[in-house]
Amino acid sequence: MGTCETQSLGVLLLLSWAITIQARSSLYITYKDPSQPVNIRVKELYKLMTLEEKIGQMTQIERTVATPQVLQDYFIGSILSGGGSAPAPNATAQAWIDMVTNFQKASLSTRLGIPMIYGIDAVHGNNNAYGATVFPHNIGLGATRDPYLVKRIGAATALETRATGIPYAFAPCIAVCRDPRWGRCYESYSEDHSVVQAMTDSVLGLQGDIPGDYPRNFPYVAGKNNVAACAKHYVGDGGTQKGINENNTIIDYEGLLSIHMPPFVDSIAKGVASVMVSYSSWNGKKMHANRHLIIGYLKEKLGFKGFVISDWQGIDRITYPPGENYTYSVQASINAGLDMVMVPYNYTGFFSAVKSLVNANVIPMKRIRDAVKRILRVKFIMGLFENPLPDPSLANQLGSQEHRDLAREAVRKSLVLLKNGKPGSQPLLPLQKNAPKILVAGTHADNLGFQCGGWTINWQGSSGQTTAGTTILQGIKSTVDPSTQVVFSENPDANFVRSQGFSYAIVVVGEAPYAETFGDNLNLTIPAPGPSIIQTVCGAVKCVVVLISGRPLVVEPYVPAMDALVAAWLPGSEGQGVADVLFGDFGFTGKLPRTWFKTVAQLPMNIGDTNYDPLFPFGFGLTT
């Protein structure tokens, strides 16, 4: 072959390659064009997808198994960090950003370049990331009765989540907890659905305010400073028998709709991007397989247009033992209306099961189409195709002073004053700042991990200086007069207390951290040595007891010995907020979001029940 012929062939090959690239570009340009309507982009992208790519979009896997090869081979649509799952070392926002960036680049290198969406349990701040602002858990926020505060916390949480490169938060939990024995009760704003409904303004904080002309019940995420939110857990998880996690909620249809459903109605109206299904059952029917409530009510009756996601290995729980007959669980959950499934490890089994069930017409293609289009809709709406990579300029939002100040405000507003003064004596609060000598006692006075609770750095939480923040003891020391001597003794004996000439004592005790099933508790007593510390200290000197807990506990036997009692819930990283109110810089404004029982034999007991005889009623709260 001569030189001219060779050159001609080369030109033809280049021309052919150019025509192929041009054709491919024109084929793909519609879904990549942000000026096109979202529904058109979804439709055009869906038409280009193979069955394997569609199943991939429905699959969410844990970060520890999300290698670039897995993301590319299985077209994975979403990755998550389970509780405590973090890059090593979990020390900076940049470590998270680098991890998410590497995952996203692998997803973008697939044939269609569909970005994955990374999700995390940012349930009281971006609580998995070291150094993040840790806000009070939801039960404390419910005590504030301040939806605007909760909205601002949502916006701050969104920024701190985006600071680590993550665009999707599994929050808010909008359960209506009807029994404090439930280990997730602190994740619930209240036993009263109307309080929970008001607090769904957290969705607007996380995602941004919806424009006035926005389509009804469509997901909405304002931009890259916001995150996609997730209303959870659908539906009735707060009403299980004896508060046992993942148990059965026995209630008639009208009761389910009137007590547990209203917060979901409000969240959908506020544009929530996703809804997570509950592990629990309703009258014996597993929610992960409840087609009537997922497709029939959530999608059709309420008109929800975002996507429905399972809980962690939630489809496995459809059978007993969990994981038995996995193919059936996949069939039952997808046909019930689940769109994205939190596998999180068994992606190969899930992928294979869905594919075989679709090919056998057991799972209809219309169900796959509905699921994938919902997921793509959210990704397009939130701008993930245009801005798939983390924005490093947001890294300084993690644990910012502005957010810590907001958390401190939330702590102040969440405190509920239950007692102030014994009969015939003057109120103890506010405390005197310039008292000569004061005692601070208790297991929770100088323990940041205890005051933050579960879902903090680790899934179950832990003891000690687990992250950046201020303990209650540190807050007290920075508030009192410089001349005041502050003595800390975690568990002092009576002789020591009597002999030291203390003006008064602050006793801080409560629950150790827990999450979910590990927190289920049928007794609800203050853990030892809390009761003995209360009795010893309060029997020897004037005392205020600050109770750190995720729910009401048995306190009636100890209340007579106390001069004052404060429910501080799980205040988070800013313990200074407790001192702000104890010493009178701010007044007490919190109101009980839950009924405070006398004995556990009364449970479940909620406002409006017959024979309602609490120690402190729902809505109670003294002021100073």
Model confidence band, residue 5 (pLDDT cutoffs 50, 70, 90)? very low
Question: What's the angle, vertex CA 566, arms to CA 560 and CA 572, rounded to 5?
Answer: 145
> Does residue 536 have a pLDDT over 70?
yes
Helix axis angle, 401-414 relative to 147-162, nearest 10°? 150
Model confidence band, residue 13 (pLDDT cutoffs 50, 70, 90)? very low
**Domains delineated in the chain:** 50-393 (3.20.20.300), 402-602 (3.40.50.1700)
* Rounded average pLDDT over 383-400: 98
Which strand ranges, in their side-by-side order, compose the sheet holding 543-548? 416-420, 564-569, 543-548, 504-510, 437-441, 485-489
Nearest alpha-carbon partner for 564 in 534, 594, 592, 586: 534
pLDDT for the residue numbered 384? 98
Report the percent of the chain where pLDDT is more than 90: 95
The residues carrying an active-site annotation are 311, 516
Q: Helix, strand, coil proportions of the chain in percent (round to 5)? A: 40, 15, 45
Model confidence band, residue 32 (pLDDT cutoffs 50, 70, 90)? very high
Q: Do 600 and 396 contact (CB within 8 A), yes or no?
A: no
pLDDT for the residue numbered 18? 43
At 287-345, the pLDDT tens digits run 999 999 999 999 999 999 999 999 999 999 999 999 999 999 999 999 999 999 999 99
Question: 61: which 2 tokens?
Answer: 């896997």
Model confidence band, residue 29 (pLDDT cutoffs 50, 70, 90)? confident
d(CA 419, CA 564): 5
pTM for the complete prediction?
0.95
Nearest alpha-carbon partner for 157 in 168, 148, 147, 146: 168
d(CA 409, CA 75): 44
Model confidence band, residue 19 (pLDDT cutoffs 50, 70, 90)? very low
Q: Do 549 and 567 contact (CB within 8 A), yes or no?
A: yes
> Does residue 159 have a pLDDT over 60?
yes
Average pLDDT, rounded, for the chain: 96
